[in-house]
Chains A and B, each alone.
Chain A
Amino acid sequence: MGDPSAQSRTPAASAAGPVLVLREVSRSFGGVPAVRPLSIEIPRGRTTVLLGESGSGKSTLLRLMAGLLAADSGEVLLEGAPVTPASGPALRRRMGFGLQSGGLFPHLTAADNVTLLAQALGRPRSWRARRLEELAALVRLEPGVLARWPLELSGGQRQRVSLMRALMLVPAVVLLDEPLGALDPVTRGELQQELLRVFRSLGTTAVLVTHDLDEAAVLGDRVALMREGALVQVGPLEELAAHPADPRVARFLAGWRGGPAR
């Protein structure tokens, strides 16, 4: 990793087995199960959306994938390597992570937020500057914004910077927790298109958590529908809508405004 030219790989070229494999992974908090034992694979070069209502366990599942939480049972493998909080920071550097708030460090400028890990790893200044420029162009961020402090940025700008940070070292997978959840509807629609374009152009493997059906429809190549800590159904949204696993799935998908043509 770390080779900026890697981003030019096409989805087809890199489609060789899943990036993440979860086997019988579970996690509970204080005896209350948040994720019941489940297995799922995250295919390379595609966007998987974890969809469900609040409390369905989708954010917990994302943190298990990121190695931010330890699983009570089962295992998470990133390209074959087990991921746990104990496996150390090196493995986590191969995953990009983004939060609804952006999670930008307020004491660093936007540019420093993006390049922080590269600085820590001793990447040369010129390399960092070049990469910063590429990414700013990619997410369509005006260059002046990079010199600002996070608290001076709009919500949309913050998400673009957060995405740049996640992509900085060309991660194997990008994990985003409700990245657009705090934005107004117009900005939100804009950024959905941006994410789609960026992911398509880079052939990014992404996992995105949302409770919004429209967002899942726009961004998700594949949707993993969760309810009460369990996976209910996994597949393209159209397929779920056409063949709901149970009446509750059908009811949930009926709320989809841009519903599929039957």
Chain B
Amino acid sequence: MSALLLLVLSAAEPGPVRVASKAFTESVIVGELVTDVLQRRGLSAEHLRGLGGTRVVWDALVRGDVDVYPEYTGTLSEEIFAGRVRPDALGPALAAAGIELGPPLGFEDGYALGMREDVADRLGIRRISDLRAHAGLRFGFSNEFVDRADGWRALQKAYGLPQSQVNGLDHELAYRGLRAGALDVVDLYSTDPEIQAERLRVLEDDRHHFPEYRAVLLVRADLERRVPGARAALEALRDRIDAPAMIALNARARLDRVPEVTVAGDFLRSRLGEATATPGPAPPGPARRILGRLGEHLTLVGVSLGLSLLVAIPLGVLAARRRRVGQAVLAAVGVVQTIPSLALLVLMIPLLGIGTKPAIAALFLYGLLPIVRNTHAGLVGIAPDLRESADALGLPPLFRLLRVELPLASPSILAGVKTSAVIAVGTATLGALVGAGGFGQPILTGIRLADTGLLLEGALPAAALALGVEAAFDGLEWVVVPRGLRIRPEEPR
């Protein structure tokens, strides 16, 4: 089965340079810069915006689904190599994985602790070690920082900090808590534009606890061979973005809500003197955008649902025929259903890479349970006198299945397919996390940019599509379910 799946999914696209970025603004801006620089040199490049977290994008690079993405040296040493590789030995370690440590971009974006300027002044805090004297301060850290090897636990140990009141929460919410006075100290990224906008004080890391987070491009070693000129083009960005420049770029995108692609294009033109050689295609209007995403979304749902049908109906028939096998099959597809969709998607990446394949595979697996269960229930639920009639007639087994049992079970089966389809429309929005496109794309970007309009541009059509699919299946019932089953026996003659 999985072989069939691979076969269907492996309609591989020929390769432009595939640039990726992680799911936060700075990474996306750098991704746009890289893409733009390549395109200005006449190279074909596409940008997988905000593809996912570190693990997803790194795996995609190693697998060859992605050619280049921006990373930070601290993340490489602490997270990807989990402290096994010293920061100055990253180059050889990467080379072993077929990855080149590409040009550094010129800025650092390390972890730091920050406080409101006025509060810090009042308490006389300038350095992290000053925090020791104020055990009652309330700390709010991003969840990742709480969990990381170089995060809160290590920091607490390095500085001997006495604070016990530490909350893990979303990075954006931490800023809000700080503003409202509910939190006193948060973790920051040193290029966060909020540092200036919110008048925050970045506390000096006087014991040099945090590693360096220099921004670099990671490039697949085989890129130059496949796309000559690409590697050289990337050099245009070497050391060209200093920290104030990156903070300004982040501020335009996050505080002024300017699209990253525009932020990047303006920067290249004004700061790097790049000619406006390629005006580039005008961004599509909202109708075209939504239509394009609808196509992507329907492809995800349609292909996965079709595969689910092909597998789930025979499984349901098998489950109804053999009681013991049936219990096992139902249990197995039930277990698949309990895997969180996000985890299932990420699990698919090592097997199928990124893009539509892992999304379709995950949606296919999710689609199985409702159809298997309802096929089984529909067949098992056939009235005993009808079952006996079919037995007594002596119909050949396949004929009996196709002409008697499946038609009698069709209302139940169709209800299962409908459930699967509606679930798939919703779950497919998560496909954007692995680069599958669809209505999840604007939702993710909207969340990242706290842009409600963009979020709704994905959420509303997705909701409408779910309702549309439901209505379509109600209509389909008139086609699929035999007329004789739709008669209400209200008027016995």
Q: Which residues of A contact B (CB under 8 A)?
A: 66, 68, 85, 88-93, 95, 97, 99, 101, 103-109, 116-117, 119-120, 149-155, 157, 165, 175
Contacts and interface: CB of A to CB of B under 8 A. Distances in A.
B283 interface: no
A104 B389 contact: yes
A92 B408 contact: no
Given A92-B391, A116-B403, A149-B484, 20 more contacts: A66-B392, A68-B391, A89-B394, A89-B397, A92-B392, A92-B393, A93-B394, A95-B392, A97-B392, A99-B385, A105-B386, A105-B404, A105-B484, A106-B408, A107-B404, A107-B408, A107-B482, A107-B485, A116-B393, A117-B395
Nearest to B407: A107
B394 A105 contact: no
B484 A91 contact: no
A68 B397 CA distance: 15
Nearest to B482: A107
12 contacts: A66-B392, A68-B391, A85-B391, A88-B394, A89-B397, A92-B392, A99-B388, A101-B385, A149-B483, A151-B487, A153-B493, A175-B392
B487 A116 contact: no
B395 A108 contact: no
- What is the predominant secondary structure among interface residues of chain B facing chain A? helix
Contacts of A107: 404, 407-408, 410, 482, 484-485
B279 interface: no
B394 A91 contact: yes
Interface in B452-493: 482-485, 487-489, 492-493
Contacts of A108: 482, 484
Contacts of B390: 105
A107 B389 CA distance: 14
B409 to A, nearest CB: 10
Contact of A120 (B385, B388, B403, B489): B403
A177 to B, nearest CB: 9
Nearest to B392: A97
B14 interface: no
User: When A and B form their complex, which 3 residue pairs have the shortest distance between CB atoms, in order from nearest?
Assistant: A103-B389, A97-B392, A89-B394
Interface in B344-402: 385-386, 388-397, 399-400
B395 to A, nearest CB: 5
B392 A105 contact: no
A134 B442 CA distance: 68
Nearest to A68: B391
B347 to A, nearest CB: 41
